[in-house]
Amino acid sequence: MARGTVEPTPIGRALASLALACLAFASLAAAQDSDPTPFNLGRAQDIAARPMALGGSYTAVASDASALYYNPAGLSAVKKHELSLSMERSVLSGMDRAGGFPSRTQRLEDLRIQSLVWLLPVPTVRGGLTFAFGYYRPRTFSDLISYEDSLSSTRGPYTYRAEGALENWRAGFGVDIAPDLTFGLAAGYVDGSEQIRVSDSGQVGYLRNYDGFNLEPSLMFKVSPRLRLGFSVVLWEKFFNLEEVYEEKGVGNSEENFQVRFPFQVKSGIGYQGDEYLLAADLRLNGWSQYRYGSRDASTLDKAGYKDEMILSLGGERFIRPANMVVRGGYTFNTLPETSFDPTYNLHRLSAGVGFLFSGALALDLAYSYSLWGMAGDGLSLDNREHRALMTFAFRY
């Protein structure tokens, strides 16, 4: 929300190196700035029904089309061509209050394609190699604020309404490099737009258009036939052009162009596959305190003043043999990077879903999630609720 983050085995050595890298990342991210935040980071969101039903715990579980986003290394497990489409319906509502004035509510609804992915496995002598090409929306800018204060009788209530999302167009692959180790790599073009309307003794608007690229290597370890570990790092992500158009009613328009460099974004996960059940957990760290921005031709970039973001998720699923279906559930805890309000009430999300497999070629997954979070400061209290429903259809051939 913006207004105005024994001799070690080869696998043992790899795990130790990754652990040290994560510790170094956490130490680096500890240095935080308190400058005003210039742009809206939005909120992370799942891009397919099964991952959302598991609370986002998919880094060590990914073995279908959504692996292109969660962990490209998981693509190597796919042995058939696959075409996957996810549709989402979301409803965001906000109830805000300033001091002793009446509460105000707003509502924002959306229906959209959340992801579209095509998988192409390549025959190999041993192991697996699969390429993927796709589109998905990993972060949403949707946000609502509305309240009355002592000035509302003359200027009307304050309202803030943001819509839009970041979109990724991505290609990647996963390949088995050892019987118990898989490597993945994905690269993508990132674009998207954000539209903001603010009413506060006048009407102003912002239109922000994003253009950039990212690169994400990843690993998947098979510790045992039932236990897997997953690691993924967005090693590089930069927006070469962030175009912001500002419009004030009765005054006119102005335009600025920025460049933005995102920090490291680390995903790690563990998954255990039982005979008829699955348990999974994920930890994601986004070092938004190292987010930097500046004018498009600037040689040095400034920190934006965000806090770091941690996303912890737990999930599980159970196969119901008589019904030939899978039931799922999950929970997500998300610390928010916003610094404009103190305190920030972290996001909590509960999710559930079901999955069906028809004739070995067609699969349908359904999921629902309920999120709640809030912020407060200077006598202002913001309370947010979001309902999301996802449907993923997959055709394997």
Segment 4-16 mean pLDDT: 40
Higher pLDDT, 10 or 270: 270
Least confident of 32-41, 207-216, 340-349, 381-390: 32-41
Predicted TM-score (pTM) of the model is 0.86
In terms of Cα–Cα distance, which of 133, 131, 123 is closest to 174? 131
The 10s digit of each residue's pLDDT in 326-359 is: 999 999 999 988 877 777 789 999 999 999 988 7
Amino acid present at 67: A
Confidence of residue 38 (pLDDT cuts 50, 70, 90): low
- Specify the pLDDT at position 212: 93
Instruction: Tell me which H or E stretch contains 65.
Output: none
What are the residue boundaries of the structural domains of the chain, listed by start?
A: 10-396
How far is the C-alpha of 65 from the C-alpha of 335, rounded, in Å? 28
Query: What phi and psi values does residue 214 have, to the nearest 5 degrees?
Result: -145, 165
Does residue 291 have a pLDDT over 90? no
Buried b (16+ CB within 10 A) or exposed e, 267-285: bbbbbbbeeeebbbbbbbb
Segment 259-283 mean pLDDT: 93
Confidence of residue 21 (pLDDT cuts 50, 70, 90): very low
Segment 164-170 mean pLDDT: 95
- Specify the pLDDT at position 340: 75
Q: Does domain 10-396 have CATH number 2.40.30.10?
A: no
What mean pLDDT is reported for the chain?
87
Ranges 120-124, 156-160, 235-239, 383-387, most confident = 383-387
The 10s digit of each residue's pLDDT in 180-238 is: 999 999 999 999 999 999 998 788 999 999 999 999 999 999 999 999 999 999 988 88
